[in-house]
């Protein structure tokens, strides 16, 4: 078995593990509907609406920083005070999404869609949740409607790209990623995902370029770094593919490069890489040992076939 890559599904040899853009959701229950869209309780004044702005800012900041517990506490306090602003519903959906409570997120985003100004963003959130829930047939039309209403929604475009990759609709995926990258706030994950799309199409050099761009935009995006090494190894550049910093797991890097060599049919290189991985981690590295055994079996089979050849 090969160790898990970040967002890698190389043909049927690797398992699907798609990385999506940041999506964010949960309270014990959805807020009760009130007469007005804004304010606390039944208050509808401009002053009440202004009161909610710092709450929304605090929740969005907590979500952006991954402080999900803080976001939940802020929302709970707002609801306890009687807040009924639909933008809080949108924040709740994002928090549920971040907590991987996809069914709850779908319900909450659906409720938020009742507010016309929020409809596109709420549909984006619902589409992301449906995609994460493994319901692509439901997700795609929702996401397509979201980007029709608001073409700047890069997360919706990014997820459309991922879904089209799954269908091997390469042209559709490329178009979706291109639209996503037009948004000034688009995450580096879009470049990573476009690169992975190219990797699936065996366009390794172009894929490497996108992974480099993703790392330039976000040096901490570990998935892009793993995918860059994979693309280099698939080009036969094993030296660059296995170059690591002091904080990285060199054994895993060597093992992954070895598996890429197997996919290339470069069994001698694969054998050497798996042996190096075992040397680094020791005899407890079961994956590399299994991969080395697989390579030796393939080599023996090839030798038998060669011996039988006239």
Report domain extents, the chain: 187-310
Residues in the chain: 310
Q: Is 26 exposed, middle or buried (0-12, 13-18, 19+ CB in 10 A)?
A: buried
Percent share of the chain, pLDDT over 90: 74
pTM: 0.80
- The superfamily (CATH) of domain 187-310 is Tetratricopeptide repeat domain (1.25.40.10)
Angle between helices 68-80 and 46-64 in degrees, nearest 10 = 160
Q: Which of 256, 188, 228, 183 is closest to 20 using CA atoms? A: 188
pLDDT, tens digit, 9 for 90 and up, residues 119-160 = 999 999 999 999 999 999 999 999 999 999 999 999 999 999
pLDDT, tens digit, 9 for 90 and up, residues 86-117 = 999 999 999 999 999 999 999 999 999 999 99
């Amino acid at each position: 078995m090969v160790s898990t890559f970040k967002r890698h599904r190389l043909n049927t040899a690797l398992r699907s593990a798609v990385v999506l853009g940041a999506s964010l959701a949960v309270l014990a229950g959805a807020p009760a509907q009130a007469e007005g869209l804004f304010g606390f309780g039944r208050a509808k004044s401009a002053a009440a609406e202004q009161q909610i702005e710092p709450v929304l800012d605090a929740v969005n900041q907590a979500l952006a920083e991954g402080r999900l517990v803080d976001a939940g506490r802020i929302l709970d306090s707002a609801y306890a005070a009687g807040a009924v602003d639909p933008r809080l519903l949108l924040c709740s959906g994002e928090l549920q999404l971040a907590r991987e409570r996809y069914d709850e997120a779908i319900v909450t985003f659906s409720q938020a869609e009742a507010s016309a100004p929020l409809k596109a963003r709420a549909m984006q959130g619902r589409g992301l949740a449906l995609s994460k829930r493994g319901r692509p047939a439901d997700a795609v039309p929702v996401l397509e409607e979201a980007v029709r209403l608001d073409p700047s929604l890069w997360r919706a475009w990014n997820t459309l790209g991922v879904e089209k990759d799954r269908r091997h609709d390469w042209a559709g995926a490329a178009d979706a990623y291109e639209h996503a990258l037009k948004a000034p706030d688009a995450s580096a994950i879009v470049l990573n995902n476009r690169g992975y799309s190219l990797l699936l199409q065996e366009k390794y050099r172009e894929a490497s370029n996108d992974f480099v761009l993703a790392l330039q935009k976000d040096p901490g995006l570990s998935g892009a770094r793993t995918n860059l090494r994979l693309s280099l190894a698939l080009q036969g550049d094993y030296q660059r593919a296995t170059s690591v910093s002091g904080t990285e797991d060199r054994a895993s890097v060597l093992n992954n490069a070895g598996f890429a060599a197997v996919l290339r049919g470069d069994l001698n290189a694969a054998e050497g890489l798996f042996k190096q991985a075992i040397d680094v981690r020791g005899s407890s590295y079961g994956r590399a040992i299994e991969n080395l055994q697989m390579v030796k079996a393939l080599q023996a089979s090839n030798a038998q076939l060669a011996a039988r050849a006239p």
